[in-house]
Protein backbone atom coordinates (compact mmCIF):
# COMPACT_ATOMS: atom_id res chain seq x y z
CA UNK A 1 0.00 0.00 0.00
CA UNK A 2 2.83 2.40 0.86
CA UNK A 3 4.47 1.62 -2.48
CA UNK A 4 1.30 2.63 -4.35
CA UNK A 5 0.98 5.79 -2.29
CA UNK A 6 4.63 6.64 -3.01
CA UNK A 7 4.13 6.13 -6.75
CA UNK A 8 0.98 8.26 -6.71
CA UNK A 9 2.87 11.02 -4.90
CA UNK A 10 5.75 10.89 -7.44
CA UNK A 11 3.29 11.05 -10.31
CA UNK A 12 1.54 14.05 -8.76
CA UNK A 13 4.83 15.89 -8.38
CA UNK A 14 5.87 15.07 -11.96
CA UNK A 15 2.50 16.29 -13.24
CA UNK A 16 2.60 19.50 -11.20
CA UNK A 17 6.13 20.40 -12.22
CA UNK A 18 5.47 19.71 -15.89
CA UNK A 19 2.22 21.68 -16.08
CA UNK A 20 3.91 24.62 -14.38
CA UNK A 21 6.95 24.54 -16.66
CA UNK A 22 4.88 24.23 -19.82
CA UNK A 23 2.55 27.06 -18.86
CA UNK A 24 5.43 29.35 -17.96
CA UNK A 25 7.37 28.38 -21.08
CA UNK A 26 4.46 28.93 -23.46
CA UNK A 27 3.68 32.27 -21.91
CA UNK A 28 7.33 33.38 -22.10
CA UNK A 29 7.68 32.41 -25.74
CA UNK A 30 4.48 34.13 -26.78
CA UNK A 31 5.31 37.22 -24.74
CA UNK A 32 8.72 37.64 -26.44
CA UNK A 33 7.18 37.10 -29.87
CA UNK A 34 4.44 39.63 -29.15
CA UNK A 35 6.96 42.24 -28.02
CA UNK A 36 8.89 41.82 -31.29
CA UNK A 37 5.67 42.18 -33.28
CA UNK A 38 4.69 45.29 -31.29
CA UNK A 39 8.06 46.90 -32.09
CA UNK A 40 7.48 46.28 -35.80
CA UNK A 41 3.89 47.51 -35.50
CA UNK A 42 4.99 50.77 -33.84
CA UNK A 43 7.54 51.36 -36.61
CA UNK A 44 4.83 50.95 -39.25
CA UNK A 45 2.16 52.93 -37.37
CA UNK A 46 2.66 56.14 -39.38
CA UNK A 47 1.63 54.33 -42.55
CA UNK A 48 -1.60 52.85 -41.16
CA UNK A 49 -4.96 54.47 -40.68
CA UNK A 50 -6.02 52.13 -37.84
CA UNK A 51 -4.03 51.10 -34.77
CA UNK A 52 -5.82 47.91 -33.75
CA UNK A 53 -5.28 45.64 -36.74
CA UNK A 54 -5.33 41.96 -35.85
CA UNK A 55 -2.22 39.99 -36.77
CA UNK A 56 -1.93 36.34 -37.73
CA UNK A 57 0.91 33.88 -38.23
CA UNK A 58 0.39 30.44 -39.73
CA UNK A 59 2.25 27.17 -39.17
CA UNK A 60 4.56 28.42 -36.45
CA UNK A 61 7.27 26.52 -34.61
CA UNK A 62 9.33 27.98 -31.79
CA UNK A 63 12.26 26.19 -30.19
CA UNK A 64 14.04 27.24 -27.02
CA UNK A 65 17.60 26.06 -26.57
CA UNK A 66 19.65 26.30 -23.40
CA UNK A 67 23.34 25.42 -23.40
CA UNK A 68 23.06 23.72 -26.79
CA UNK A 69 20.13 21.50 -25.78
CA UNK A 70 16.53 21.89 -26.86
CA UNK A 71 14.54 22.82 -23.75
CA UNK A 72 11.08 22.97 -25.31
CA UNK A 73 9.26 23.37 -28.63
CA UNK A 74 5.92 24.96 -29.45
CA UNK A 75 4.01 24.31 -32.66
CA UNK A 76 0.69 25.79 -33.73
CA UNK A 77 -1.27 25.80 -36.93
CA UNK A 78 -1.97 29.52 -36.44
CA UNK A 79 -1.49 32.35 -33.93
CA UNK A 80 -3.83 35.34 -33.90
CA UNK A 81 -3.39 38.56 -31.97
CA UNK A 82 -6.46 40.47 -30.80
CA UNK A 83 -5.12 43.85 -29.79
CA UNK A 84 -8.37 45.26 -28.35
CA UNK A 85 -8.63 42.33 -25.93
CA UNK A 86 -4.84 42.06 -25.51
CA UNK A 87 -5.13 38.33 -26.22
CA UNK A 88 -3.36 35.76 -28.37
CA UNK A 89 -5.18 32.71 -29.72
CA UNK A 90 -3.35 29.61 -30.94
CA UNK A 91 -4.91 26.90 -33.10
CA UNK A 92 -3.90 23.22 -32.89
CA UNK A 93 -1.28 23.77 -30.19
CA UNK A 94 1.47 21.30 -29.30
CA UNK A 95 4.19 21.93 -26.72
CA UNK A 96 7.03 19.46 -26.15
CA UNK A 97 9.17 19.92 -23.03
CA UNK A 98 12.48 18.09 -22.59
CA UNK A 99 13.37 17.70 -18.90
CA UNK A 100 16.92 17.62 -17.58
CA UNK A 101 16.45 14.01 -16.47
CA UNK A 102 15.64 12.89 -20.03
CA UNK A 103 11.86 12.68 -19.79
CA UNK A 104 9.72 14.22 -22.52
CA UNK A 105 6.37 15.88 -21.82
CA UNK A 106 3.91 16.67 -24.62
CA UNK A 107 0.94 18.99 -24.07
CA UNK A 108 -1.58 19.54 -26.86
CA UNK A 109 -5.00 21.05 -27.44
CA UNK A 110 -7.27 22.32 -30.18
CA UNK A 111 -7.05 25.96 -29.11
CA UNK A 112 -4.92 27.98 -26.72
CA UNK A 113 -5.44 31.48 -25.38
CA UNK A 114 -2.89 33.80 -23.77
CA UNK A 115 -4.23 36.81 -21.90
CA UNK A 116 -1.34 39.23 -22.08
CA UNK A 117 -2.31 41.62 -19.28
CA UNK A 118 -2.79 38.92 -16.65
CA UNK A 119 -0.40 36.32 -18.16
CA UNK A 120 -3.18 33.76 -17.76
CA UNK A 121 -3.31 30.82 -20.17
CA UNK A 122 -6.09 28.54 -21.36
CA UNK A 123 -6.14 25.36 -23.46
CA UNK A 124 -9.48 24.23 -24.87
CA UNK A 125 -10.55 21.11 -26.73
CA UNK A 126 -8.96 17.67 -26.65
CA UNK A 127 -6.34 18.67 -24.09
CA UNK A 128 -3.78 15.90 -23.61
CA UNK A 129 -0.66 15.80 -21.47
CA UNK A 130 1.53 12.76 -22.18
CA UNK A 131 4.88 11.83 -20.67
CA UNK A 132 7.60 9.63 -22.10
CA UNK A 133 7.41 7.44 -19.00
CA UNK A 134 3.84 6.39 -19.72
CA UNK A 135 1.52 8.87 -18.00
CA UNK A 136 -1.36 10.57 -19.80
CA UNK A 137 -3.90 13.20 -18.69
CA UNK A 138 -6.93 13.99 -20.85
CA UNK A 139 -9.56 16.69 -20.37
CA UNK A 140 -11.50 19.27 -22.37
CA UNK A 141 -9.83 22.38 -20.94
CA UNK A 142 -7.10 23.68 -18.63
CA UNK A 143 -6.79 27.20 -17.22
CA UNK A 144 -3.60 28.64 -15.70
CA UNK A 145 -4.00 31.57 -13.28
CA UNK A 146 -0.61 33.29 -13.25
CA UNK A 147 -1.25 35.34 -10.09
CA UNK A 148 -2.40 32.36 -8.02
CA UNK A 149 -0.02 29.89 -9.74
CA UNK A 150 -2.90 27.43 -10.12
CA UNK A 151 -4.04 25.21 -12.97
CA UNK A 152 -7.73 24.26 -12.99
CA UNK A 153 -10.25 22.39 -15.09
CA UNK A 154 -14.01 22.10 -14.45
CA UNK A 155 -14.27 19.30 -16.98
CA UNK A 156 -14.09 15.52 -16.66
CA UNK A 157 -10.50 14.31 -16.45
CA UNK A 158 -8.88 10.98 -17.13
CA UNK A 159 -5.39 10.29 -15.85
CA UNK A 160 -3.65 7.07 -16.73
CA UNK A 161 -0.28 5.53 -15.98
CA UNK A 162 1.35 2.16 -16.35
CA UNK A 163 -0.38 0.80 -13.26
CA UNK A 164 -3.25 3.17 -12.50
CA UNK A 165 -6.28 4.79 -14.09
CA UNK A 166 -8.07 7.72 -12.43
CA UNK A 167 -11.20 9.53 -13.62
CA UNK A 168 -13.11 12.39 -12.06
CA UNK A 169 -14.88 15.69 -12.53
CA UNK A 170 -12.77 18.85 -12.26
CA UNK A 171 -9.29 19.34 -10.90
CA UNK A 172 -6.91 21.94 -9.56
CA UNK A 173 -3.15 22.04 -9.28
CA UNK A 174 -1.36 24.43 -6.93
CA UNK A 175 2.10 24.87 -8.43
CA UNK A 176 3.60 26.58 -5.40
CA UNK A 177 2.37 23.96 -2.92
CA UNK A 178 2.89 21.12 -5.44
CA UNK A 179 -0.56 19.72 -4.77
CA UNK A 180 -3.02 18.09 -7.17
CA UNK A 181 -6.68 17.40 -6.45
CA UNK A 182 -9.52 15.84 -8.42
CA UNK A 183 -12.67 17.59 -7.22
CA UNK A 184 -15.65 15.25 -7.71
CA UNK A 185 -16.71 11.75 -8.70
CA UNK A 186 -13.20 10.33 -8.32
CA UNK A 187 -12.68 6.71 -9.32
CA UNK A 188 -9.28 5.05 -9.23
CA UNK A 189 -8.41 1.62 -10.55
CA UNK A 190 -5.09 -0.15 -10.38
CA UNK A 191 -4.51 -1.92 -13.67
CA UNK A 192 -4.79 -5.65 -13.34
CA UNK A 193 -7.50 -5.38 -10.68
CA UNK A 194 -10.94 -6.68 -11.51
CA UNK A 195 -14.16 -4.95 -10.61
Query: Which residue ranges in the chain fall short of pLDDT 70?
Result: 1-6, 16-18, 20-22, 25-54, 193-195
Closest CA to 52 of 63, 38, 66: 38
Distance CA 127, CA 80 (A): 20
pLDDT in tens, 68-124: 888 888 888 988 888 888 888 889 998 888 877 888 888 899 999 888 888 788 999
Residue range 2-43+55-190, CATH number: 2.60.450.10
Q: Where are the domains of the chain?
A: 2-43+55-190
pLDDT for residue 20: 66
Residues near 38 by beta carbon (within 8 Å), at least 6 away in sequence: none
pLDDT for residue 66: 82
pLDDT for residue 114: 81
The answer for 53, left when phi > 0, alpha when psi is -120 to 50, beta otherwise, is: beta
pLDDT for residue 71: 81
Strand ranges, E, within the chain: 55-66, 69-82, 87-98, 104-115, 120-131, 136-145, 150-160, 164-174, 179-190
pLDDT for residue 53: 36
67 alpha carbon, distance to own chain's centre: 24
The helix/strand/coil state of 32 is helix
pLDDT for residue 169: 95
Residues near 50 by beta carbon (within 8 Å), at least 6 away in sequence: none
Amino acid sequence: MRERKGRTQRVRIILLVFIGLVMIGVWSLLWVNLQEQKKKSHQEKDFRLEENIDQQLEKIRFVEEKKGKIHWELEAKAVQQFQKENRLTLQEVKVVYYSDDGRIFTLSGDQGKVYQDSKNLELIGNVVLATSDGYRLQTHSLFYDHTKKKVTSPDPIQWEGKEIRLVGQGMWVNLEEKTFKVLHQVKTRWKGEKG
